[in-house]
Amino acid sequence: MGEGVGGGFEFGEADQEEDVMDRKTAELVLDVEQIKTLLPHRAPFLFIERLTDIVPYESATGYKAVSYNEPHFAGHFPEFAVMPGVLIIEAMAQTAGALVVYSMGQPSPSRRVYFMTSTRRVSVVRCGRATCCAFR
C-alpha cells in the first residue's frame, strides 16, 4: 500500500474504514488543553476552545466563547460587536487543522504543520454578540 496522508502511516482502504469506525463518536469532546496538543496556536490567536461531534477524517464542530473584552471588538462595530469574518474563517481553519491532526493520531511534538490554502462549503452555525460561536 502507498503512504497515507501525511506520510507517516500505511494502511489500506479497509484498515482506514475500520479505524474511523472505531473512533467515530458524537460523545467525544476535546477541551482547550487537548486542542493545544494538536495545534501550534496559543492565545491570543487560538480561536477554538472545544471540539465536539468529531468524525475522524470527515468533520468536527469547534467552539469559541466570545467576550466583549476581546480586543478586536473595540474597533469592529463597538456599538454592535461582531467577531470579524477573517477571525471566524481562522477559527474554522483551526477546527479543520485539529480534526486532521486528531484523525491522523499525530499530537505534538511529532506532528507536521498543515496550512489551509482554500475553503469550500464553510458555514457559520451560530454566532452572536459576545456569545459562543460554533464552527463546522
Query: Which CATH number fits the domain that encloses residue 34?
Result: 3.10.129.10
Q: What is the pLDDT of residue 39?
A: 92
Q: What is the pLDDT of residue 83?
A: 82
- Give the number of domains in the chain: 1
Q: In which domain, by residue range, is 43 found?
A: 27-135
2 in any annotated domain: no
5 in any annotated domain: no
Strand order, beta sheet including 30-31: 30-31, 50-55, 59-65, 132-135, 124-126
Out of 41, 76, 124, 130, which one is annotated catalytic? 76
Q: For 43-94, how does the pLDDT look when each residue is reduced to its tens digit (9 = 90+)?
A: 989 999 999 999 999 999 999 888 878 888 888 777 777 788 788 889 989 9
1 in any annotated domain: no
* Cis amide linkage into residue 84, ω under 30° from 0: no
118 in any annotated domain: yes
**76 included as an active-site residue:** yes
Q: What is the pLDDT of residue 36?
A: 94
Kindly tell me if the per-residue pLDDT of 99 is higher than 90.
yes
The secondary element (H helix, E strand) that includes residue 124 is: strand 124-126
Q: For 104-131, how does the pLDDT look when each residue is reduced to its tens digit (9 = 90+)?
A: 887 766 666 777 788 787 766 666 555 5
